[in-house]
Amino acid sequence: MPDLAPHARRAAYVLTAGSAVSILFSIAVSQILMALAFAALLVSREPVRFPPLKLPLLLFFIGTVLSLLLADDPHIGTPQIRKFYVYLIALLVASVYNSAGKIRNTVLLWAGVASLSALRSFAQFVQKFQESRTENVNFYQFYVGERITGFMSHWMTFGGEEMIVLLMLAAFLFFAPPSRWKLPASIACLMLAVSMLLGLTRGIWLGTAVGGVYLLWFWRPKLLLALPALIAVLLVFAPVRERVVSVFHPHGDLDSNEFRVVVWRTGLKMIEAHPWFGLGPEEVKAELPRYIPADIPRPLPSGWYGHLHNIYLHYAAERGIPTMLMLMWFLGKIGYDFTRSLRGGPAVESRWVLHGALAVLIAVLVEGFFELNLGDSEVLTLFLTATTFGYVARSS
């Protein structure tokens, strides 16, 4: 009987890469490929590895389960238990990737698929602009409530994916050795940046900007002096200018400023009432009306009241402060490990991966102040893949 292990080993890598890339257009396809990759990994008899994050992640899982069991209606929270499956991508990447070359190939595939998604978003933007003209309404007011989504169903998911791919590509351009792939990567970066700009999502802009500043600081710090000029150029574009100005002078409740204040204050009330185990997974949406502070006038500002639009408040309110701190330990350890590796002078071919993964971490933490980004399976899958790439580069 032929030895299937070598074929299974190759299949596990191809299927894992397929899962990591297909998340840019389909959760179902990505998770099916993830299951097949895991089966192939077991057949290959390769050692099963996981990044050195097992303890904080295990405690986060335990805290989530305890929160579920103590909730008023545990059945509501079962989707968050099923979401543990997404973390399988970290095990797969750590087990089947063993070189910066394989990581580069996947990042370039990300660039290709994300560029196609960006092209679709350009067509969506033109269509929405034409619709606003046809209906004779203000474009900004017409557009902000229903923005471009690319291959995704929501603009926040789309922007979060673009943010991660763009930062990994920028790290490849800045820090990787010379390569014939840098020109197409540059074109993809430009397309993603324009699409992100057209998305008018301020949290994505801020997260990407902070992650980008980190990369520039370690690549060409003098280029940071040109940032004010770049911002001035971007503000010439009227929708971008209006979106930036809306931070300080919102268009009524159209720009979600007041709405976010409402959900954040409500989250603090929830945490105060349930500090140890929270309300329970998925309970925030159901319980939110009961915790809205009495001094907030009705009707409430327009917005999505299904979560707290802040990973720090949401996980504390949903699962308790200790479980939220386990998540912070998980994320903080990633930052500590990568910073320490970069200070140790990694190999040239690994340096760009570590810088990219650290930039992604920074961007997600910043954007997490304004959105529940890690609660989104697509963004979480890309985030876990990018950070596990950092651990692969660190060990190789």
Q: Return the structure tokens found at 111.
A: 């660039």
Nearest to 336 by CA among 381, 394, 382: 394
Q: What is the pLDDT of residues 229-261, one digit of tens each?
A: 999 999 888 889 989 888 887 877 677 788 999
Could you read off the pLDDT of 48-96 as tens digits, one per residue?
Answer: 999 999 999 999 999 999 999 999 999 999 999 999 999 999 999 999 9
Residue 97: band (very low, low, confident or very high) from pLDDT cuts 50, 70, 90: very high
Query: pLDDT tens digits for 170-217?
Result: 999 999 999 999 999 999 999 999 999 999 999 999 999 999 999 999
Residue type at 27? I
pLDDT of residue 335: 98
Q: For residue range 273-292, list pLDDT tens digits in order.
A: 999 999 999 999 999 999 99
Contact 123, 340 (CB under 8 A): no
- Per-residue pLDDT for 319 more than 60? yes
What pTM was estimated for this model as a whole? 0.96
3-class secondary structure, 135: coil
Which sign, positive or negative, has the C-alpha torsion 232, 237, 242, 244? negative
Backbone angles phi and psi of 145, in degrees to 5? -80, -5
The answer for residues whose C-beta is within 8 angstroms of residue 340's C-beta and 6 or more apart is none
Is the pLDDT assigned to residue 393 strictly greater than 60?
yes
